[in-house]
Amino acid sequence: MQKTPLYDEHLKLGGKIVDFNGWALPLQFTGIVHEHQHTRARASIFDCSHMGEYRIKGQSAIEAYDRQVISDTSKIPLGRCRYGAILSENGGILDDLITFRMAADELYVVTNAGPIASVTDRICGGNPGAEHVSYETAKIDVQGPLAYRMVMAAGFKDVEGLKYFNSLWTTWRGHRVLLSRTGYTGELGYELFMDNDLAPTLWELFCSMEDAAPAGLGARDTLRTEVCYGLSGQDFDSTVTPLESGMAAFIEWETEFVGKEALMAQRNRGDYRELVAVKTLDRRAPRHEFNVTRDGVSVGVVTSGTFGPSLDHGVGLARVDRNVSAPGTRLTAGPKGLPIEVCKIPIYTKGTCRAAATA
């Protein structure tokens, strides 16, 4: 397994290390439910240094990148971020990503760890203005209602006034850091990108703060499932399209991109399933790959499922036939016929991600 710059820090804190897409990352420190609840109430620190990062400089390089993704980067204002995806020729999702507009002629792109080799080939292949910087970049996420207070206390004064899905370059103790108000928990949060050698110092500083605590992959998963954020390689992959994965709103149909022809054909046919939020009526959880049925007939499959600590019942995502995708529809899942109900996204509605950031 590859190790992040924070691997030794995790061992010091008693983190339970697991293999996540070839990376040695902490599953938990004090317990998944405890870390989940701490994030919702205060703020947690996550090591996300396994993620992929790319710098794209120059107008021609940006135009080449534009042809690879479903987004239209010309519509991203300076300092803003936009969610999107990179597709195969058949319209399948190679990976989802976020594109940051850092300057008129500069983008910063964040992807996932699993498909990084194929994504790098698509972004950087034949594009000299695209640079793969993942292995020299560490990423620390501060997530929770008190995240703003902690990032300010660490000395990142530029965070003041930074709005949701905005980002900027800043300097911290002589080091350049990309700071964005983004995250994967549904709470007020910030993601910080930095050189590897800076990460342990910043991690220790955040973890030493009152009301802060480290959190692992387990809590990250329960948090994101409660707010219905899809996971690459689990809720979607190259076998399904953005139309089947809740991404229709992010497709820029007027632009040209790889996979567009196949995607348009699917849209015109209308013969695809949709990704929906589901909940159980008790503490039992739907599980990944549970068959979803209605009146004994298969109508879909669960893609993610867990117990929701903030809700006290099971939550998940499922890809189902469109005629059973309306909120309120009752279905069953799994070999024992677990009752589930399609519900609005997000399931957990008290998240602070868009709230005003105050000390």
Angle between helices 32-41 and 217-226 in degrees, nearest 10: 60
Report residues of the chain scoring pLDDT below 70. none
Please give the pLDDT value at position 20: 96
Residue with tokens 């691997």: 7
Domains of the chain in start order, with CATH, are 2-50+134-226 (3.30.1360.120), 273-353 (2.40.30.110)
* Bond from prior residue into 346 cis (ω within 30 degrees of 0): yes
pTM: 0.96
Please give the pLDDT value at position 117: 96
Please give the pLDDT value at position 235: 98
Please give the pLDDT value at position 269: 97
pLDDT digits (tens, 9 = 90+) for 139-158: 999 999 999 999 999 999 99
Please give the pLDDT value at position 140: 98
pLDDT digits (tens, 9 = 90+) for 199-257: 999 999 999 999 999 999 999 999 999 999 999 999 999 999 999 999 999 999 999 99
Please give the pLDDT value at position 233: 95
Sign of CA dihedral 160, 161, 163, 169: negative
Q: Is residue 206 helix, strand or coil?
A: helix
CB 151 within 8 A of CB 162: no
Please give the pLDDT value at position 244: 98
Please give the pLDDT value at position 359: 74
How would you class 354 by CB atoms within 10 Å of its CB: exposed for 0-12, middle for 13-18, buried for 19 or more? exposed
